[in-house]
Structure 1
Amino acid sequence: MPGMTPQSLSVETLYSEHHGWLQNWLSRRLGCPSLAADLAQDTFVRLLSHPRQLNNLGTPRSYLRTVAGRLCVDFWRRQSVEQAWLEVLASRPEPLAISPEEHAIIVETFCEIDEMLQRLPKKVAAAFILSQIEGLSYKKIAVKLNVSERTIKNYMAKAMLECMLIEARYHHSVT
């Protein structure tokens, strides 16, 4: 096809030769054919959006299984975050009326915060949670984590920078 790069041809070949197999593998793993179809498609979208030299793959199915497996983990993590959010909503004494768009934005933000906490060093993430969720002072967090209060301030600066980046991405996506 005119205008196609060697990279897209490789993904096209990978897709035509292995899409059916991948979808069946995901369906057996997930027990839901429609979800398997979505995640199989997402796997190839991921390959297109994150170009990589595909000519040197040892076994294409192993590579596809790895990419799809990571997408499954992302899906399950997102589902867990969304379930926790729904439980919070259900536990409120007064129903909170939010639009489906607001619900999606809230869940996406929670997922980004969860990803941020996974990326941060353990003590930085712990300091952030102790401060923002538990409401502890920096001094109490320092004692709990066995570090100086100045170190806690540095940890919080790192975590807050990550939060600001999430907020900037949010504002960029809604404008």
Structure 2
Amino acid sequence: MQQVRTPHVVVVMGVAGTGKTTIGPLLAARLGVPYAEGDDFHPPANITKMSAGVPLTDEDRWPWLDAIGAWAHGRAGLGGVVSSSALKRAYRDRLRAAAPGVVFVHLTGDRKLIEDRMAHRKGHFMPTALLDSQFATLQPLERDETGVAVDVSGSPEEITARAVDALRDLEESPAQPSQ
């Protein structure tokens, strides 16, 4: 398996259940950089809210995004992969403000597939009941945002390979962010 190396910090984004926690470490391994689990940056109050089925507000998310942004800033020029739902443009703008040059990998897919994956995962605080709020909040990458959209159908290895290929294509044509 060919290893691809990038000095960029890659944010693996998407709604709950798209596989950020699964794909993130696989992508980091392929890129030869460290991985940080975005959920680990949540303050305890956020986890308590989500565990109770209460969607987070923007005010709840700002400290979480700032913590992820600080990690990404510290990895600038070194590379890294971090997961974050980054559902709104404003959230991605905040991450870019902290760490200019971050690149987004937006994991996308069929809602039924994502819901099924969420229903079968164990030990995660995010209930399936919040999936509707996640989709309602989602603002896909815009043309002026550096990133790629990657379909989540198939095995984790297939999804990771698609992400690596898309990032490679993006790097070869940086003036044209793809979606």
TM-score (norm 1): 0.28
Higher relative contact order, chain-length normalized (CA < 8 Å, sep 6+):
2
- Highest CA radius of gyration, 1 or 2? 1
More helix by share: 1
TM-score (norm 2): 0.28
More strand by share: 2
